[in-house]
């Protein structure tokens, strides 16, 4: 399956089914709504600063991915009879064979295994894309994200930076 057509389902800790699929251009409003439901603390952990609004250029970057050097997945749950984006993950290739990863799950849905599911599927796409490493900078207080990386089954190394923990995950 091509990355831009990717779709899979997972069962969460609470028994609900979540769809993990490729981000689509029509997800713009749903993605912005998910950001709007996220706390300042969650947004700070994701963006390393207080970020409530985005420029059109920033939104275009997050939405318009090429599924080669920039791959993005969303997690959707049924809420009130309709699918709602509750999380997302992405990687952006910086140097050949290596990409930076980022994850976000809205506050109401944290702790259900969505980040872990997104990680598993993003890793599969990264391997299919020929990547050897995923890297991330994580705030020291973001123990949930560090746990997702630590329980991924991937060989990882961490290095304490002045403001973050630099994580390198080996895919090969």
Six token digits for residue 37: 């439901």
In a domain, 71, yes or no: yes
In a domain, 49, yes or no: yes
Number of domains in the chain: 1
E strand segments, 12-160: 17-22, 70-79, 82-95, 98-105, 133-138, 155-160
pTM value is: 0.89
What's the CA gap between 24 and 39, in Å, rounded?
24
In a domain, 9, yes or no: yes
**What are the tens digits of pLDDT across the range 131-161?**
999 999 988 888 888 999 999 999 999 999 8
CATH of the domain at 117: 3.40.630.30
**What are the tens digits of pLDDT across the range 25-82?**
999 888 877 776 666 666 656 655 555 566 778 777 788 899 999 999 999 999 899 9
């Amino acid at each position: 399956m091509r990355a831009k057509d990717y779709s899979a389902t997972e069962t969460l800790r609470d028994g609900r089914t979540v769809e993990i699929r490729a981000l689509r251009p029509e997800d713009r409003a749903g993605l912005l709504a998910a950001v709007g439901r996220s706390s300042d603390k969650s947004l700070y952990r994701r963006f390393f600063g207080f970020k409530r609004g985005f420029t059109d250029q920033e939104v275009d970057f997050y939405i318009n991915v090429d599924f080669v050097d920039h791959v993005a997945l969303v997690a959707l749950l049924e809420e009130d009879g309709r699918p709602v984006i509750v999380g997302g993950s992405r990687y952006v290739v910086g140097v050949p064979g290596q990409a930076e990863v980022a994850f976000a799950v809205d506050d109401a849905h944290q702790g259900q295994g969505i980040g872990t599911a997104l990680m598993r599927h993003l890793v599969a796409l990264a391997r299919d894309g020929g990547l050897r490493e995923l890297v991330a900078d994580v705030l020291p207080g973001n123990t949930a994200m560090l746990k997702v990386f630590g329980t991924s089954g991937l060989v990882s190394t961490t290095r304490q930076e002045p403001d973050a923990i630099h994580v390198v995950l080996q895919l090969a």
